[in-house]
Amino acid sequence: MQNSTLSHFNAAGEAHMVDVGAKAVTQRSAVCEGYITMLPATLALIIAGNHKKGDVLGVARLAGIMASKKAADLVPLCHPLPLTHVDIQLLPQSELQRVYCQTTVKTTGQTGVEIEALLATQISLLTIYDMCKAVDRGMVIAAVRLLEKSGGQSGHWQLTQST
Amino acid sequence: MQNSTLSHFNAAGEAHMVDVGAKAVTQRSAVCEGYITMLPATLALIIAGNHKKGDVLGVARLAGIMASKKAADLVPLCHPLPLTHVDIQLLPQSELQRVYCQTTVKTTGQTGVEIEALLATQISLLTIYDMCKAVDRGMVIAAVRLLEKSGGQSGHWQLTQST
Amino acid sequence: MQNSTLSHFNAAGEAHMVDVGAKAVTQRSAVCEGYITMLPATLALIIAGNHKKGDVLGVARLAGIMASKKAADLVPLCHPLPLTHVDIQLLPQSELQRVYCQTTVKTTGQTGVEIEALLATQISLLTIYDMCKAVDRGMVIAAVRLLEKSGGQSGHWQLTQST
Amino acid sequence: MQNSTLSHFNAAGEAHMVDVGAKAVTQRSAVCEGYITMLPATLALIIAGNHKKGDVLGVARLAGIMASKKAADLVPLCHPLPLTHVDIQLLPQSELQRVYCQTTVKTTGQTGVEIEALLATQISLLTIYDMCKAVDRGMVIAAVRLLEKSGGQSGHWQLTQST
Amino acid sequence: MQNSTLSHFNAAGEAHMVDVGAKAVTQRSAVCEGYITMLPATLALIIAGNHKKGDVLGVARLAGIMASKKAADLVPLCHPLPLTHVDIQLLPQSELQRVYCQTTVKTTGQTGVEIEALLATQISLLTIYDMCKAVDRGMVIAAVRLLEKSGGQSGHWQLTQST
Amino acid sequence: MQNSTLSHFNAAGEAHMVDVGAKAVTQRSAVCEGYITMLPATLALIIAGNHKKGDVLGVARLAGIMASKKAADLVPLCHPLPLTHVDIQLLPQSELQRVYCQTTVKTTGQTGVEIEALLATQISLLTIYDMCKAVDRGMVIAAVRLLEKSGGQSGHWQLTQST
C-alpha cells in the first residue's frame, strides 16, 4: 500500500479535487480489461453479426471510445484532461462464453488515465448488454480492472496476479 | 431466449434506435448489483471514513445516482427517458474484502431502466476505485448484473441463479 | 414548516432520488428572481450595448434558458423532466446599480421546476458577470430566490415577505 | 476600471469567444464566497444531518465540485480549460441563519477560473436549496462574489470591501 | 407562410422557449436528408471499408443517432423531449460522388422533432468528414433539409420541390 | 490526396482515436463557411429583427460558439481540446435569399480544429432553422465546408475552387 490515507479528502475529511498543479506534464497511459459473460446462443448472434451484419462490437467499441471522454463528467473528483489516444479491443471468446475487452488510453497531462480506461471498458461492455438484453437478461459484466499504467510520479505499475 | 435476432439492428443489419412509440407508458423498475474487491487495508480505510470522515461511499452513491441520468448519453441506442426514483445501497463486506452495491431505478415510460440501473452500479463502483486508487491499484469491479425487472410487455424477470 | 425531515435521504440517512412515481402529472410553474449589483459605469456599458451593440443581456438570457435544461445534470438529486416554457426578464435598474432578473419556468410533469428556475436565474446573472468581469471584478450576485410556484400536491406557494 | 469596452464583443458588437491564444500558460486561482439564508429549523436539520445522517453539505460540496467542470458548457463565452484543484468549504452559521460557502479553484492555463469558482459556489448553494426545499421554500441564495484571484496578466486582485 | 412573426421571441422581442404546455401529446415524426460530396477516391475508400473493414458509415450512423438526443443541448430554444425512434440511412452514390443521408426521428410529445432529425443528419455527415479529412479536406456537406413531418397542430407537411 | 488509407481505423479495420501524443503543440486555426437558403419573406423577418427586436442572428451566433465546445462530445473519434478563440459571422444576403455564415476557430494543441469550426457553422445555421421553421419549413442548410486551415504537420491548406 502506497499511502495510509485517502488523498481525495482534505484534512477535515471533506471531498475535494486533489491539487495536481505542481505535477509534471508527462505522457501517461493506462491499459484495462474486463469481460461480459453470456449464453452461447447470444455470443453466436454477436459473432454472426460481426462478420455479416448487426455489428454489436463495432457499436460497443464506439460507445467505449466516446465514454472515455466523459470520465470527468461522471466521476466526481476526476480531473478533466484531454486524451491523445484511445483504442478498444473486443474479442469474442466462445470457449469462455464471453466477450473480452481490453482498452488503452493515453494522455499528455498532469494526472493519469486509469479512470478513463476503466470507464471505456465498462461502457463498451454495458453497450453489449444493451444490444443483447432482449435475448439474454442474465449477462454479467465481470472483472473490470487495471492491467498496467505508466507515466507520472508513481511510475510504472503492472498487475502481478491474473485470474 | 425470447428473440432470435437482435432488435437494435434494422433489416439491413444497421444499428437504429428501436421504435417504442407503440409501447404502453407503464411503471417500470430494475434492480442491479455488483461489487468491487480490494485489499483488506483499503476496505478498512473506507469503513473508517464512512463512520468518521472521508465518506467514500457517500461520494460513490451520489456519482451513481447522477450517472443513472446519463444512460442515453453514454449508451448509443438507449432511449432517453425521465426517472422517477433512484436508490443505491453500498455495503462494505469485510469477510469478502469488497464493497457490495445494489441499485434500484424506476420510471414511468415506454422502455425499461435496466441500463440506467447497471450504469449507476458501474459508476458507483468506479468512483470507489477512483477515490482509493492511490492506495490500491489492483481493485476489481466484478459481477455487475441485473437481479430483477418489472413493467413493460416482457413483464417481470428475476435472476434465477446466484453466485 | 411542512416536513420535519429531509425527503432526499432514505431511512438510513443516505441520499437518494425521491420516488415521485405515484405523483400526478400536472402543469407546474415556478417564478424566481435575483440580481447582480455592479459599478455605475459597468451598468452604463450594459445599457449602451443593449440598445446599440454588445448585447450582454441577450447573451445572458440565452445562457439562462439553456441552463434551465441542465438542472438534472448539475443538481444531484433533481429529477430529469422536460420543460414546456422558459422566459427570462433582465431589467437594468440604474438607481439600484444592478440588473434584475426574473425567470418563469413551466412543465407538465411529476415534480416541480423551482430548481430549473433558480438555476436559470443564477446562470443568467453569472453570464453577466463573465461578460463584464474585465471591467468590474467586484460585482455581486444577490438574492436569488423563489417568488411563486404552482401545481403539484403542495399546491400554490407565494413569497410573503419582500426585501 | 480596467477597460472601457467589453472584450466579449468584437468591433461589430457581436459576441465572440475572446482570443486568448497569445496569453501565457500560468498558474491561476480564484476564491469565491456566497451563502444561503434559511429558517432556524432548516439549518438545525442540516447541522443534525451533517453530524449523524442525511449529509446535505456533503452532497452540496460534491455538486459544486462537479459543476466547476461545467463552466464552459453553461457560460456561453467561457473558455474550456482543465482544472487542477477544487475545494469547497460549507460552514453552517447558526447565529446568521445561513450556510456559508467558500470555493477555491486552480488551473494551469491561458485564462482565469473566476467563473468556475462562482459557478461551483452557486451550484453548492442551489443543491442545499434543492435538498431542503420541501421544508423551507423561502431560502435565499445571496452575495455570491469573487474574493480573490491570482495569475494571468491582470495579476492579483482582492476584494477590498466586505459586508 | 403560416405566421407573420417569429414565435421564438416574446412581445418585447426577447428570445424565450415557446410555451407548449397547452399542446396535445401526439405521435410526431420527421424525415430529413442531406449529403456530403467528396473526391471519387475518398468515396472508394468508404465503400471499400463498408464492405470489409474501416466502417466509416457505421461510425457516422451511430454519431447521428447519438446526436439526435442532444438537440435541446445544442439548439438554445429547442424543447427537451424523449425520442421513441431514430433511423439513419447512409447511401454511397458513386455516380454523384457523394454519400447521401436520410434520417427518420419519432417521438410522443408536445413538440415536433424536425430539429432532432436535421441535427442527426448534420452530425452523421460531419463524422464522415472527420474520418476522411486526412485524405480529402475539400468535402462539402450540402442540402440538409426537411423532407416530411407529421403530427401536431400544424399536421402533415411534405417538401414539394426536389433538387 | 495525402494518405491512401483512413487513419481513424487501426490495422484490424477497427475505429480508434488516433494517437496524437507525438504531435507538437502548436497554434492551429480553421475557417469554415456555409449558408441557409429561405423564402424572401423569412429573410425579411430576420433582417427586421436583427435591427430592432427578435435577434435571430444573435441567438444563432451564440449557439454556434457554444457548439464549438461540444465537438468531441458529438463526433466519436474527435480529440477533446481547449479552444482559444471562436468567432462567427452571420450575414443576411437578400439577393441570394440566404444567410451566410463564416466561422473561425483557434486552439493551441496537438490536433486541428476543422471539426469544431464546421460544427459551429452547422449549429448556427440549424438554430436559424429552428427559430424560423414555424414560418418556413423548406429552408435548406447548404455548402458547409472548410475554407482554410493552418498549423500542425499538414501545414496550411486553402480551398482552391469555389462554387
DSSP class per residue in E42-108: HHHHHHHHHHSS--HHHHHHHHHHHHHTTHHHHSTTPPP---SEEEEEEEEEGGGTEEEEEEEEEEE
C156 labeled part of a ligand binding site: no
What band does B68 get if pLDDT is binned at 50, 70 and 90? Answer: very high
**Shortest Cα distance from D46 to chain A (angstroms)?**
16
Residue closest to E132 by CA, chosen among F140, F77, D120: F77
The alpha helices in chain F, defined as continuous H runs, are 40-51, 56-68, 71-74, 114-132
| D118-137 average pLDDT score | 97
Cα D98 from chain centre: 17
End-to-end CA distance of chain B: give it in Å, rounded: 21
CB contact under 8 A, D27 and A14: no
pLDDT over 90 at A2, yes or no: no
Give the pLDDT band (50/70/90) at residue F135: very high
Domain membership of residue A11 (yes or no) is no
| Nearest CA-CA distance, residue B37 and chain D, Å | 25
Q: C17 in a domain, yes or no?
A: no
**What is the C-alpha R_g of chain A?**
18
pLDDT at D40: 97
Q: What confidence tier does F11 reach under pLDDT thresholds 50, 70, 90?
A: confident
Residue B132's domain is classified under what CATH number? 3.30.70.640
Chain F positions in Cβ-Cβ contact with residue A89 (cut-off 8 Å): 14
Task: Residue C127: name the closest of C162, C95, C103 by CA.
Answer: C103
pLDDT greater than 90 at residue D147 = yes
Query: E65 and E152 in contact (C-beta within 8 Å)?
Result: no
Report the residue from D1, D15, D142 with minimal CB separation from C142: D142
Closest alpha carbon within chain C to F51? C52
Question: What value does the mean pLDDT of chain C take?
Answer: 92
Are F34 and E1 a contacting pair at CB < 8 A?
A: no
DSSP label at F15?
A: B
Confidence band, pLDDT 50/70/90 cuts, at residue D52: low
User: Of these residues, A19, A73, A87, A130, which one is catalytic?
Assistant: A130
Contact D70, D76 (CB under 8 A): no
A10 → chain D, closest CA residue: D87
For residue F136, which residues of chain E lie inside 8 Å, CB to CB?
1
Q: Three-state SS for A89?
A: strand
Q: Which residues of chain E make contact with A67, given a CB cutoff of 8 A?
A: none
Which residues of E are less than 8 Å from C83 in CB distance?
17, 79-80
Find the radius of gyration of the CA atoms of chain E: 18
Confidence grade of residue F163 (pLDDT, cut at 50, 70, 90):
very low
Supply the residues of E annotated as catalytic. Answer: 130
| Chain E residues inside the 8 Å CB shell of B26 | none
- Catalytic residue list of C: 130
Q: Count CB-CB contacts under 10 A for residue D124.
A: 29
C77 is in an annotated binding site: yes
User: pLDDT tens-digit profile of D99-112?
Assistant: 999 999 999 999 99
**Are E34 and E142 in contact, with CB atoms under 8 Å apart?**
yes
Q: Do C62 and D42 touch (CB under 8 A)?
A: no
Report whether B148 contacts B114 (CB < 8 A).
no
Please answer whether residues F15 and F77 qualify as being in contact, where contact means their C-beta atoms are separated by less than 8 angstroms.
yes
Query: What's the pLDDT score for residue E4?
Result: 56
Is E8 inside any structural domain? no
Within a domain: A92: yes
Would you list which residues of chain F are within 8 Å, Cβ to Cβ, of chain A? 10, 14-21, 72-73, 76-77, 79-82, 109-110
* Chain B closest-CA separation from residue A88 CA (Å): 16
pLDDT bracket for residue D4 (50, 70, 90): low
Helix %, strand %, coil % of chain F (to 5) = 30, 30, 40
Query: Closest chain B residue to E62 measured between Cα atoms?
Result: B76
In a domain, D15, yes or no: no
How many residue contacts between A and F have a Cβ separation below 8 Å? 51
Subunits adjacent to chain A (3 or more Cβ pairs under 8 Å): B, D, E, F
Q: Which residues of B are catalytic, by number?
A: 130
| Min distance F33 CA to chain C CA atoms (Å) | 23
Give the pLDDT of residue F152: 86
Q: Do you know the residue count of chain E?
A: 163
In this complex, which of A16, A73, A82 lies closest to D86 when CB atoms are compared?
A: A16
**pLDDT higher than 50, residue D50:** yes
Is D23 exposed, middle or buried, given 0-12, 13-18 or 19+ CB atoms closer than 10 A? middle
pLDDT at residue number C155: 86
Q: Do E15 and C62 touch (CB under 8 A)?
A: yes
| Contact assignment for C59 to F55 by CB distance below 8 Å | no
| pLDDT tens digit sequence for A77-122 | 999 989 999 999 999 999 999 999 999 999 999 999 999 999 999 9
User: What DSSP string describes C62-74?
Assistant: HHHHHHHTTHHHH
E42, E46, E47, E48: CA torsion to nearest 10: 100
- Check if the beta carbon of residue A75 is closer than 8 Å to that of residue B63: yes
Q: Note whether E59 contacts A62, CB cutoff 8 Å.
A: yes
Which of C62, C82, C89 faces E79 most closely, judged by CB atoms?
Answer: C82
Please provide residue B21's backbone torsions phi and psi, each rounded to the nearest 5 degrees.
Answer: -60, -30
**Pairing of β E157-158 and β F26-37:** unpaired
Would you list the DSSP string of B74-136? HSTTPPP---SEEEEEEEEEGGGTEEEEEEEEEEEESS--HHHHHHHHHHHHHHHHHHHTTT-
Number of domains in chain F: 1
DSSP SS3 for F132: helix
State the nearest Cα–Cα gap between D135 and chain A, in angstroms.
26
Q: Is A16 annotated as a binding residue?
A: no
**pLDDT of A5 over the 90 cut:** no
Q: Is the pLDDT of residue D65 over 80?
A: yes
Band (pLDDT 50/70/90 cuts) for residue E3 is very low
- pLDDT at res. C1: 36
**Residue D157: beta bridge partners?**
D149
Q: Which residues of E touch C66 (CB under 8 A)?
A: 73, 76
B32 labeled binding residue = no
Closest C-alpha to F17, from D115, C77, A85: A85
CB contact under 8 A, E59 and A55: no
Asked whether residue D121 is domain-assigned, the answer is yes
pLDDT at D104: 98
Nearest CA in chain F to E140: F145
pLDDT score of F161: 64
Which chain D residues are closer than 8 Å to F83 by Cβ? 17, 79-80
Nearest to E65 among B19, B20, B77 (CB): B77
Q: Which residues of A touch B157 (CB under 8 A)?
A: 137
Note whether residue D153 is domain-resident: yes
The C-alpha cell at F56 is 435571430
| B88: closest CA of chain D, how far (Å) | 14
Digitized pLDDT (tens) for each residue of chain C, 163 residues in all: 344 578 899 888 899 999 999 998 999 999 999 999 999 999 999 999 865 567 899 999 999 999 999 999 999 999 998 999 999 999 999 999 999 999 999 999 999 999 999 999 999 999 999 999 999 999 999 999 999 999 988 889 999 865 4
Closest alpha carbon within chain E to C50: E14
* Test the E interface: residue of C81, C85, C104, C116 with most E CBs within 10 Å: C85
Instruction: Give C-chain residues touching F64 at CB under 8 angstroms.
Output: none
H helix or E strand, kind and range, residue D122: helix D114-132
Percent of chain F clearing pLDDT 90 (strictly above)? 80
pLDDT category of residue A1 using cuts at 50, 70 and 90: very low
The pLDDT tens digits for F31-62 are: 999 999 999 999 999 999 865 567 899 999 99
What are the residues whose beta carbons fall under 8 Å from the beta carbon of F111, sequence distance 6 or more?
F20, F23, F28, F79, F81, F152
**Contact at CB, B130 and A73, closer than 8 angstroms:** no
Share of chain F above pLDDT 70, in %: 93
CB atoms within 10 A of CB D2: 11
Domain membership of residue E1 (yes or no) is no
Instruction: Identify the CA nearest to A81 among candidates B21, B115, B158, D108.
Output: D108
D69 min Cα distance to partner chain F (Å): 13
Residues of chain C contacting residue F55, judged by C-beta atoms under 8 Å apart: 55, 58
Size of interface B-D (CB pairs under 8 A): 11
Best mutation target among B56, B145, B160 (most A Cβ atoms within 10 Å) is B145
- Which of B59, B61, B127 to mutate to probe the D interface, most D CBs <10 Å? B59
Cβ(A97)–Cβ(B93) below 8 Å: no
- Alpha-carbon distances, residue A4 vs A69, B4, B45 (angstroms): 31, 53, 8
Domain with C113 in it: 26-158
The pLDDT, as a whole number, for residue E163 is 46
Cell 441520499, residue located: C15
Look at A130 and B77 and tell me if their CB atoms are within 8 Å.
Answer: yes
Residue tagged active-site, from F19, F55, F73, F130: F130
> Which residue from D72, D73, D110 is facing F84, i.e. has the nearest CB?
D110
Nearest Cα residue in chain E from C57: E14
Instruction: Indicate the length of chain F as a whole number.
Output: 163
Any idea what the Cα angle at residue F123 is, between residues F119 and F127, rounded to 5°? 175
CB contact under 8 A, F21 and A84: yes
Taking an 8 Å cut-off on Cβ atoms, the answer to whether E118 and F138 are in contact is: no
Question: pLDDT tens digit string along A27-47?
Answer: 999 999 999 999 999 999 999
CA separation, residue B99 to residues B89, B102, E35, E67 (Å): 10, 10, 51, 36
